[in-house]
């Protein structure tokens, strides 16, 4: 009898351990890669393992994290959004233009600018989605078009100049650090990630995002209209570009038509490193956050290490691919764990 209970107990601990491994492998995923990279730089790069440096990295990843959060939705449905960088630029000039108006008090202009940023971004995203679905075009092409349109609009709105002179309360908020560890703009990024995680995990909408990415035709034949959801994910991506624009304004205190150049590729890289499949249906937004961290930690760590400018992109490029390779091994191991 006692033998029986003992072995049952052992089995139980084994399952608990397996479960722990499974959950940590699934949810943490590339976080392991991040930990390795952080440890590496902590050991080798001077000033890397300092509170100031980590605070600074938190601030530096915020913009890309917010963009990548929206991008995760689009990529999960099997699409891509190349326009986020220039939509961000457009939103920064729209937001800054409102905030520098002398006739508005900061308490009027700041919320108004926030709303305008989000509305502008969401509108660009909605147009992306609507055009894709209306004419059944690949999102690659449509958002490439929007990349140029938004960039041009940003130049028109700003008259090719950088807009400065944001209200002081806004600037102060951007410099705020809560509890000595939580910069305000990083807090915004974390909130965006948490909301995204909640939507994907707990809502009907989130379920459809995964289902459409897995098999859009099956969703359609199950009696739903995938188009609405696809337009919605592009709108979300545009909305987060608008929020990222606010983060940009908080961080750099200027609206600029040349902001955000190349940001779309960084956002996509963060999503992919985070384990989301480019073909859709698989992935997580927490992974995206980790992916964004990996990119910035690498960039900062390499500079602190004193690496040559020309070496940096080589290392970062290699790590992007390595992270994804590592992910395939992780998936294989995960499948083996599940087989037990």
Partner 1 sequence: MTTDPHEVAPVLEADAAARHNQDAGPILRLQGVGKRFPGVVALRNVSFDIQRGEGHVLLGENGAGKSTLINLLGGLFPPDEGSIWFNGAPYSPASPLEAFSKGIRVVHQELNLLSNLTVAENLLFEHLPSRRGLVNYREMNRRAAELLAEVGLDISPSTVVSRLGVAQMQLIEIAKALAHESKLLVLDEPTATLTSKEVDRLFEILHRLKERKVTTLYISHRLQEIYEVGDRVTVLRDGQHVTTEPLKGLAIPDIVRLMVGRTVTDQGVFREDIKPTGEALAVEGLRLTETSPPIDFSVRNGEIVGIAGLVGSGRTEAVRAIFGADPKASGTIRVNGRPVAIASPKEAVAAGICLMTEDRKQQGLLLEMSCAENITITDLKRLSRKGLLDRAMENAASERLVAGLRVKTPTIFQKVGTFSGGNQQKVVIAKWLYRGSSVLICDEPTRGIDVGAKVEIYELMGQLAAEGKGILVVSSDLPELMSICHRILVFSNGRLAGEVPRAEFDQNRILSLAYEEYGRVRGN
Partner 2 sequence: MTSFSSDGRSLSGVSRRRLLLAGAAGSLVLVSGVTPVFAEAKKPKVGLVMKSLANEFFKQMQAGAEKYAAENADKFDFKAVGMKDERDFAAQVDAVENFVTQKYDIIVVAPADSKAMVTPLAKAVKAGVAVINIDVELDQEAKKKAGIDLAFFGPDNREGALLAGTALAKDLGEGGKVVILEGNPEADNAQQRKKGFDDAVAAGKLQLLDSKTAHWETEEANTLMTNFLTKYNDIQGVMAANDSMALGVVKALDSAGLSGKIKVVGFDNIPAVQPLIKDGKMLATVEQYGAQMAAMGIEYGLRQMAGETFTGWVKTDIKLITAADL
Other beta carbons less than 10 A from residue 180's beta carbon? 8
The answer to whether 64 and 263 have CB atoms below 8 angstroms apart is yes
Name the binder of 262 from partner 1, partner 2, none, CB < 5-8 A by kind: partner 2
Contact between 252 and partner 2 (CB under 8 A)? yes
> Residue 193: enclosing H or E segment and its boundaries?
helix 184-202
Considering only residues 225 to 254 of the shown chain, the ones binding partner 1 according to CB under 8 A are 225
325: nearest Cα among 278, 256, 273, 279: 273
Considering only residues 57 to 116 of the shown chain, the ones binding partner 2 according to CB under 8 A are 59-60, 63
DSSP bridge pairs for 183: 177
Task: Choose between 226 and 238: whose C-beta lies nearer to partner 1.
Answer: 226
Other beta carbons less than 10 A from residue 262's beta carbon? 8
Which of 149, 182, 205, 305 touches partner 1 (CB under 8 A)?
A: 205
d(CA 49, CA 52): 9
Question: Which residues have a Cβ under 8 Å from the Cβ of 336 and sit 6 or more positions away?
Answer: none
Which of 16, 35, 137, 218 touches partner 1 (CB under 8 A)?
A: 218
Considering only residues 170 to 199 of the shown chain, the ones binding partner 2 according to CB under 8 A are 171
Q: How far is the CB of 320 from partner 1 (least distance, A)?
A: 24
Name the binder of 207 from partner 2, partner 1, none, CB < 5-8 A by kind: partner 1
276: nearest Cα among 264, 286, 284, 265: 284
Determine the size of the site formed for partner 2 (CB under 8 A).
41
d(CA 328, CA 267): 20
The answer to whether 188 and 66 have CB atoms below 8 angstroms apart is yes
Contact between 313 and partner 2 (CB under 8 A)? yes
Q: Which segment (19-27, 150-158, 207-215, 253-261) binds partner 1 by CB under 8 A?
A: 207-215
Task: Choose between 26 and 56: whose C-beta lies nearer to partner 2.
Answer: 56
Q: Which segment (7-15, 44-52, 112-120, 221-229) binds partner 2 by CB under 8 A?
A: 44-52
Which of 97, 214, 253, 331 touches partner 1 (CB under 8 A)?
A: 214
Other beta carbons less than 10 A from residue 195's beta carbon? 13
Question: Which residues have a Cβ under 8 Å from the Cβ of 274 and sit 6 or more positions away?
Answer: 29, 30, 68, 72, 283, 284, 285, 286, 287, 288, 289, 290, 291, 292
Which of 4, 223, 262, 306 touches partner 1 (CB under 8 A)?
A: 223
Considering only residues 114 to 173 of the shown chain, the ones binding partner 2 according to CB under 8 A are 155, 158, 160-165, 171
The answer to whether 240 and 88 have CB atoms below 8 angstroms apart is no
Name the binder of 252 from partner 2, partner 1, none, CB < 5-8 A by kind: partner 2
DSSP bridge pairs for 163: 255
Catalog residues that contact partner 2 under the rule CB under 8 A. Answer: 44-47, 50, 52-53, 56, 59-60, 63, 155, 158, 160-165, 171, 248, 251-254, 256-259, 261-262, 299-300, 303-307, 309-310, 313
- What residues make contact with partner 1 under the rule CB under 8 A? 202-208, 210-211, 214-215, 217-225, 281-282, 335, 338-339
């Amino acid at each position: 009898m006692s033998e029986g209970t003992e072995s049952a107990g052992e089995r139980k601990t084994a399952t608990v351990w397996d479960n722990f491994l499974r959950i940590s492998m699934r949810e943490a995923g590339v976080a392991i890669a991040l930990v390795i990279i952080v440890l590496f730089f902590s050991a080798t790069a001077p000033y890397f393992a300092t509170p100031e440096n980590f605070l600074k990295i938190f601030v530096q990843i915020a913009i890309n994290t917010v963009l990548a959060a929206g991008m995760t939705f689009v990529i999960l449905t099997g699409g891509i959004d190349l326009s986020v960088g220039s939509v961000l630029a457009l939103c920064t000039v729209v937001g800054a233009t409102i905030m520098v108006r002398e006739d508005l008090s900061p308490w009027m202009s700041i919320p108004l600018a926030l709303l305008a940023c989000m509305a502008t971004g969401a509108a660009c995203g909605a147009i992306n989605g609507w055009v894709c679905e209306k004419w059944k075009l690949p999102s690659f092409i449509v958002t490439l078009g929007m990349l140029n349109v938004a960039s041009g609009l940003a130049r028109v709105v700003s008259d090719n100049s950088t807009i400065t002179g944001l209200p002081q309360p806004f600037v102060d908020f951007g410099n705020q650090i809560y509890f000595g560890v939580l910069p305000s703009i990083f807090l915004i990024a974390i909130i965006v990630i948490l909301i995204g995680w909640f939507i994907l995990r707990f809502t009907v909408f989130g379920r459809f995002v995964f289902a459409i990415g897995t098999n859009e035709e099956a969703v359609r034949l199950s009696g739903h209209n995938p188009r609405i959801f696809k337009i919605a994910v592009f709108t979300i991506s545009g909305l987060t570009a608008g929020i990222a624009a606010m983060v940009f304004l908080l961080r750099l205190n200027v609206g600029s038509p040349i902001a955000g150049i190349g940001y779309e590729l960084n956002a996509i890289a963060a999503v992919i490193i985070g384990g989301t499949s480019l073909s859709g249906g698989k992935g997580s937004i927490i992974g995206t956050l980790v992916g964004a961290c990996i990119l910035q930690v690498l960039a900062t760590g390499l500079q602190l290490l004193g690496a040559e400018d020309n070496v940096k992109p080589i290392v970062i490029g290699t790590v992007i691919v390595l992270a994804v390779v590592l992910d395939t091994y992780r998936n294989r191991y995960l499948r083996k764990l599940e087989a037990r």
